[in-house]
A and B are shown apart, each in its own frame.
Chain A
Amino acid sequence: MIRTSTSPEAPATGAWEELVTTALLGTDRRTPPGGTPGRTAPVALLDAAAVQTVRRRAGLRPAPAARRPEPAPEDPRPPLPAAAARRLAMLLADRPGTAAGRRGTAPDLMELLPQWLAAANAHGYAPPPEALPALLDAARARTDLRPAALGFGGPRALWLAGLNPDWRFALRAAPGAGAARSGSGDADRVRKLWEEGLFAERVALLASIRAHSPAAARELLAGSWPTERAEDRLMFVDSLRTGLGPDDEEFLEQALSDRSRNVRSTAAELLSALPGSALAARMAARARSCVAVDHTRGTPTLVVEAPHECDSAMERDGIAPKAPAGRGERSWWLGQLVEAAPLGTWPGRLGGRTPREIVALPVADGWQGELHAAWCRAAVRQRDAQWARALLGPPAAPDAGGPGAVSLAERAKLLGTLDAAERADWVAGFIAAHGLPEAFQLLGVCAVPWAAPLGRAVVDALNIARDAGSYPWSFSGVMGLAERCLDPAEASRLDGLLAVPDEAEDASPGAGGYWAEAFQRLVTTLRLRSAMAGELEAARTG
């Protein structure tokens, strides 16, 4: 609506401009053109302006079209089932920051969004296009949501983000993904992005290629390696962690002589996670010389002789020579050697014992903490379930909840090397023996939804905590986890906990009511999750 009508345009426009000029200056200073007998100058001006205004508006025509945007790429995924699309709209409508205070019995929808996105992505659905702005806004506000939100958003979300500066983050997060999606035939674009892209774009590109084709990523990296800046090299070498394999050894061996110490130590760390590598063999030889079984005592005992120096060969293999403040140099070196040595070294070295037997051996001279901690790190790095199991010990052991030789943080990492069912069983056993206060960190590494025995252990423990007369917010962390992780099929088990119990004399005032409310919220959330899952399943059956 920019142009007025064509043929009478020139005179009309001229007359209008004359009117505007006169109106700005005032009829006292400038006489309006024309003029009607019997009308004063200002009224005549208003008369003429009224005619012109209506005439201009009535004659409006469309403007010439600007350059059209490239259409969004096709999204081949099937559309979301209608009920799931409604659910998504509700989850996205629940923006944080509008309400505060006690949560009552209502579920926290925003906390369910990550789970919903993961499930929708697992089903491979395409989002309803009109939901994309809200989805991008949510991802903008919460960085933890971005990978899943952008994955779900798909090509149209990136297309849309290209038109709105508020959503620029989406382009930064996913340019590599875009390049990788467009197919391997697009090698030129990859090469160009690798050579000219911003650092973040290059990291993302490398990561996405590494995920599909580890060798191609390594070759891309090797091509420009000598010219990269030290801090960039560190990020790039770290990207090899994904899909690490024996083929990477040669490249990593070369990186051991890198100018940057951080690059060297990262390369060494990665090599030590390859038990067949030359570096692992060198570390094994060094570590073997430090630990032995002493049979001269009453029971066989491990004795430790820590290294006396850190020579240049050790340093080249990634051993940091300088200990942090407050730590002895020799124990510092020992810890690093044992951590980097293949765990397969030890049974042969220590009299053919199994990992469990080795861990059970007493350790002389207070070296147990240092040695076991190093073995824990090695088990995590080498993803060795047998050693992890030995180091974790039985969940009900009195020192499993601390202060034993292995800390809770280390136990959580060790659990990560076990398969989901074994992990859940171990944590269930731990909760049964030690209760909830120490279990939070361990629950965080368990697969969602929780396996039945684990879920039951958590609910039982919450029930016990309630009977013990504490307040539910002492367990809000576990409660929040339970809302997101408990299997929705367990909801009916909780029915007995929803009632407000009679207040016992020694109980905390009002605690019963708050517990009932917390359990109601738990049940509501579980029901909601079950409905969410059902809605996403709908199209499969229909």
Chain B
Amino acid sequence: MTQQGVRWSADQVLALAPDAASRKAGSKLGAAGPWSEAGCSDEGAVWGLCKGSGSRPYQTVVDVAGGAGPAYKCSCPSRKFPCKHALGLLLLWASDDGAVPSGQAPDWAEQWTAARGERTGRKRSTAGPASGAADPRAALRRAERRAERITAGVTELEQRLADLLRGGLAPAEQAGYGLWEETAARMVDAQAPGLAGRVRELGAVPSSGPGWPVRLLEECALLHLLGQGWLRRERLPEGMSATVRSRVGLPVSADGPPVRDRWLVLAQYDTADAKLTTRRIWLHGADSGRTALLLSYGAAGRAPELALPVGLALEAEVSSYPGAGQPRVALGERFAPPAPVRIRPRGVTTAQAAARYGAALRDDPWLESVPVTLREVVPVPDGESWQLADAASDSALPVTRVARTHPGLWRLVALSGGAPVTVFGECGHRGFTPLTAWSRNEEEMVTLC
């Protein structure tokens, strides 16, 4: 296959930008003017020289078909990653106007891609099961010590929850974040980051508007359920026990058998807090029909390194993380650069979507949402909010609060124009978050996140 068939869209390229300023700066460089000696190879490398303000042009190379998402190298001093030159080069390449012809890489580009190839090859060969298992007995001792600390943390947390319920939730509205921050810090000390995260979120509930006592009770109850699950983990079925361990925050690795498929990249979006940027990438297996989630993290203010072109499919292996019903996978070997496919996930009705979420809670009661594709739904305004209503019936899923304020919702409304569309998103107890939509002919995929 030649690179001609797999050029990305400008949207896909711009989605790689770490921030809005980079997007803008990159867009400006996406034209032939400042570029010279640009070219691309069949192996997925794109290179070019970009005239900057200095006397020497910057040397920019991107490996589009890289092992863990595109990789970039640029001689500019920018600390943004990818830098505007890499984005501009990809835009130029994406615009398909002959500005980036196929050809032989110049030496400086060739050296980098060759070195990269060696590095990733070496990594692959050493990343066998033996790695990290230098002293299994020491590892076991460490794991036992950690489990003890978590148990102590859980016991303390249970005590705090009991105290809270003894005195009543009503005063929590005035209590503010302080109480929860302190408890969260205790959970971090207990090496249970999963618990810490949930506790921290409790602090925000009392200020979350009408109905907060119900939400606070729900979250306290689920936290209690998780604590109880941890204390009884030995007696749980294997899948549920794995889910509890991962919810508490024990590190797990993807040890499922590799599944090779053509994975259509359905959606990619970032959420950020003060310390961490989390990138969620939803994949849909063209042959297996399976929906899988890739997670990637970046330090605060930095884009996570993994980025995949939404709307294209990559032939690759993925392995599941442990836990029953767990959609999360790790990306393994990739066999071919991303290419277009005509496969679309099978859609369901709103009732089926709600039922699917309900069923998934059996395996993971702490689950916020499940990935679902809704077929033939119409976005309908509902007071201040929006719904996605079945075209053929009278039922509808409300759009979540987060999605309501996102510009993607308006792209969805515009795409629909009052007519039914197919929408992929996350469906849970808060409602539906649309992430991707297809117009009626399902030809064009429109990202909403």
The stretch of B188-196, B275-283, B387-395 in contact with A is: B387-395
Chain B residues contacting A52 (CB-CB under 8 Å) are: 221
* CB of A284 to closest CB in B, whole Å: 57
Task: Answer whether residue B299 sits at the interface, using C-beta atoms and an 8 A cutoff.
Answer: no
Task: Answer whether residue A501 sits at the interface, using C-beta atoms and an 8 A cutoff.
Answer: no
Task: Answer whether residue B179 sits at the interface, using C-beta atoms and an 8 A cutoff.
Answer: no
Please determine whether A66 and B389 come into contact, CB atoms closer than 8 angstroms.
yes
Chain B residues contacting A156 (CB-CB under 8 Å) are: 414, 417
Please determine whether A42 and B166 come into contact, CB atoms closer than 8 angstroms.
yes
Chain B residues contacting A323 (CB-CB under 8 Å) are: none
B410-436 vs A: 1/0 string, CB under 8 Å? Answer: 110111111100000000111110000
Please determine whether B165 and A67 come into contact, CB atoms closer than 8 angstroms.
no
Please determine whether A129 and B410 come into contact, CB atoms closer than 8 angstroms.
no
A75-88 vs B: 1/0 string, CB under 8 Å? Answer: 00000000100110
Chain B residues contacting A129 (CB-CB under 8 Å) are: 414-417, 439
Interface residues on B, range: 35 or more
Task: Answer whether residue B217 sits at the interface, using C-beta atoms and an 8 A cutoff.
Answer: yes
Q: Which residues of B from 99 to 133 have beta carbons under 8 Å from A?
A: none
Task: Answer whether residue B53 sits at the interface, using C-beta atoms and an 8 A cutoff.
Answer: yes
Given A68-B418, A72-B417, answer yes or no on A24-B33 (Cβ-Cβ < 8 Å). no
Please determine whether A50 and B224 come into contact, CB atoms closer than 8 angstroms.
yes
Q: Which residue of A lies closest to B394 (CB)?
A: A65
Please determine whether A66 and B10 come into contact, CB atoms closer than 8 angstroms.
no
- Among A59, A94, A133, point to the contact of B28 (Cβ < 8 A): A94
Please determine whether A105 and B418 come into contact, CB atoms closer than 8 angstroms.
no
- Among A46, A90, A107, A534, point to the contact of B224 (Cβ < 8 A): A46
Please determine whether A163 and B395 come into contact, CB atoms closer than 8 angstroms.
no
Expressed in whole angstroms, the Cα–Cα distance for A19 and B10 within the complex equals 53
Task: Answer whether residue A47 sits at the interface, using C-beta atoms and an 8 A cutoff.
Answer: yes
The stretch of B71-79, B287-295, B336-344, B375-383 in contact with A is: B375-383
Chain A residues contacting B415 (CB-CB under 8 Å) are: 129-130
Please determine whether A23 and B24 come into contact, CB atoms closer than 8 angstroms.
no
* CB of A462 to closest CB in B, whole Å: 17
- Among A59, A66, A520, point to the contact of B387 (Cβ < 8 A): A66
Given A23-B213, A62-B354, answer yes or no on A133-B410 (Cβ-Cβ < 8 Å). yes
Please determine whether B407 and A50 come into contact, CB atoms closer than 8 angstroms.
no
Interface residues on A, range: 35 or more
Task: Answer whether residue A60 sits at the interface, using C-beta atoms and an 8 A cutoff.
Answer: yes
Please determine whether A90 and B358 come into contact, CB atoms closer than 8 angstroms.
no
Please determine whether A89 and B11 come into contact, CB atoms closer than 8 angstroms.
yes
Task: Answer whether residue A2 sits at the interface, using C-beta atoms and an 8 A cutoff.
Answer: yes
Task: Answer whether residue B27 sits at the interface, using C-beta atoms and an 8 A cutoff.
Answer: yes
Chain B residues contacting A49 (CB-CB under 8 Å) are: 217-218, 220-221, 224
Chain A residues contacting B9 (CB-CB under 8 Å) are: 86, 89
Q: Which residue of A lies closest to B8 (CB)?
A: A86
Task: Answer whether residue B252 sits at the interface, using C-beta atoms and an 8 A cutoff.
Answer: no
Please determine whether A99 and B25 come into contact, CB atoms closer than 8 angstroms.
yes
Expressed in whole angstroms, the Cα–Cα distance for A56 and B396 within the complex equals 18
* CB of B367 to closest CB in A, whole Å: 9
B214-226 vs A: 1/0 string, CB under 8 Å? Answer: 1001101110110
* CB of A341 to closest CB in B, whole Å: 54
Task: Answer whether residue B134 sits at the interface, using C-beta atoms and an 8 A cutoff.
Answer: no
Task: Answer whether residue A61 sits at the interface, using C-beta atoms and an 8 A cutoff.
Answer: yes
Task: Answer whether residue A10 sits at the interface, using C-beta atoms and an 8 A cutoff.
Answer: no
Task: Answer whether residue A270 sits at the interface, using C-beta atoms and an 8 A cutoff.
Answer: no
Please determine whether A90 and B397 come into contact, CB atoms closer than 8 angstroms.
no
Please determine whether A1 and B418 come into contact, CB atoms closer than 8 angstroms.
no
Task: Answer whether residue B95 sits at the interface, using C-beta atoms and an 8 A cutoff.
Answer: yes
* CB of A6 to closest CB in B, whole Å: 12
Please determine whether A42 and B162 come into contact, CB atoms closer than 8 angstroms.
yes
Please determine whether B395 and A106 come into contact, CB atoms closer than 8 angstroms.
no
Given A46-B220, A65-B395, A524-B34, answer yes or no on A98-B20 (Cβ-Cβ < 8 Å). yes
Task: Answer whether residue B96 sits at the interface, using C-beta atoms and an 8 A cutoff.
Answer: yes
B342-360 vs A: 1/0 string, CB under 8 Å? Answer: 0000000011011001110
Please determine whether B214 and A65 come into contact, CB atoms closer than 8 angstroms.
no
Q: Which residue of B lies closest to A68 (CB)?
A: B380
Task: Answer whether residue B32 sits at the interface, using C-beta atoms and an 8 A cutoff.
Answer: yes
Task: Answer whether residue A144 sits at the interface, using C-beta atoms and an 8 A cutoff.
Answer: no
Please determine whether A53 and B380 come into contact, CB atoms closer than 8 angstroms.
no
Q: Which residue of A lies closest to B162 (CB)?
A: A42
Q: Which residue of A lies closest to B397 (CB)?
A: A62
The stretch of B167-175, B234-242, B263-271, B316-324 in contact with A is: B167-175
Q: Which residues of B from 43 to 101 have beta carbons under 8 Å from A?
A: 51, 53, 91, 94-97
Q: Which residues of A from 85 to 122 have beta carbons under 8 Å from B?
A: 86-87, 89-90, 93-95, 98-99, 104-107, 109
Chain B residues contacting A60 (CB-CB under 8 Å) are: 354, 357-358, 429
Please determine whether B419 and A71 come into contact, CB atoms closer than 8 angstroms.
yes
Given A24-B213, A106-B29, A156-B414, answer yes or no on A531-B95 (Cβ-Cβ < 8 Å). yes
Task: Answer whether residue B204 sits at the interface, using C-beta atoms and an 8 A cutoff.
Answer: no
* CB of A135 to closest CB in B, whole Å: 9
Please determine whether B162 and A46 come into contact, CB atoms closer than 8 angstroms.
yes
Please determine whether A69 and B380 come into contact, CB atoms closer than 8 angstroms.
yes
Task: Answer whether residue B365 sits at the interface, using C-beta atoms and an 8 A cutoff.
Answer: yes
Q: Which residue of A lies closest to B55 (CB)?
A: A500
Expressed in whole angstroms, the Cα–Cα distance for A67 and B381 within the complex equals 8
Task: Answer whether residue A149 sits at the interface, using C-beta atoms and an 8 A cutoff.
Answer: no
* CB of B248 to closest CB in A, whole Å: 16
- Among A58, A93, A524, point to the contact of B24 (Cβ < 8 A): A93
Please determine whether B33 and A521 come into contact, CB atoms closer than 8 angstroms.
yes
Chain B residues contacting A27 (CB-CB under 8 Å) are: 165-166
Task: Answer whether residue A132 sits at the interface, using C-beta atoms and an 8 A cutoff.
Answer: yes
Task: Answer whether residue B23 sits at the interface, using C-beta atoms and an 8 A cutoff.
Answer: yes
Q: Which residue of A lies closest to B88 (CB)?
A: A106
Expressed in whole angstroms, the Cα–Cα distance for A333 and B178 within the complex equals 81
Task: Answer whether residue B30 sits at the interface, using C-beta atoms and an 8 A cutoff.
Answer: yes
Q: Which residue of A lies closest to B51 (CB)?
A: A105
Chain A residues contacting B168 (CB-CB under 8 Å) are: 23-26, 28-29
Please determine whether A93 and B14 come into contact, CB atoms closer than 8 angstroms.
yes
Task: Answer whether residue B401 sits at the interface, using C-beta atoms and an 8 A cutoff.
Answer: no
Listed in ascending order, the chain A residues whose CB lies under 8 Å from chain B are 1-2, 19-20, 23-29, 40-43, 45-47, 49-50, 52-54, 56-72, 83, 86-87, 89-90, 93-95, 98-99, 104-107, 109, 128-133, 156, 159-160, 163-164, 517, 520-521, 523-525, 527-528, 531, 534
Q: Can you report 9 A-B residue pairs in the complex whose CB atoms are below 8 A from each other?
A: A23-B165, A50-B222, A62-B396, A67-B380, A86-B95, A93-B24, A163-B381, A524-B32, A534-B97
Listed in ascending order, the chain B residues whose CB lies under 8 Å from chain A are 9-11, 14, 20-21, 23-25, 27-34, 51, 53, 91, 94-97, 158, 161-170, 213-214, 217-218, 220-222, 224-225, 228, 350-351, 353-354, 357-359, 361-362, 365, 378, 380-383, 387, 389-390, 393-398, 407, 410-411, 413-419, 428-432, 439, 444, 446
The 7 A-B pairs at the shortest CB distance, nearest first, are namely A524-B33, A26-B168, A71-B418, A106-B28, A72-B417, A49-B221, A62-B395
Beyond A26-B167, A40-B162, A56-B429: 19 further Cβ-contacts under 8 Å? A1-B428, A23-B168, A25-B170, A43-B158, A47-B228, A53-B217, A57-B357, A59-B358, A60-B358, A62-B397, A63-B387, A64-B394, A66-B382, A105-B33, A107-B33, A109-B27, A130-B414, A159-B418, A527-B31
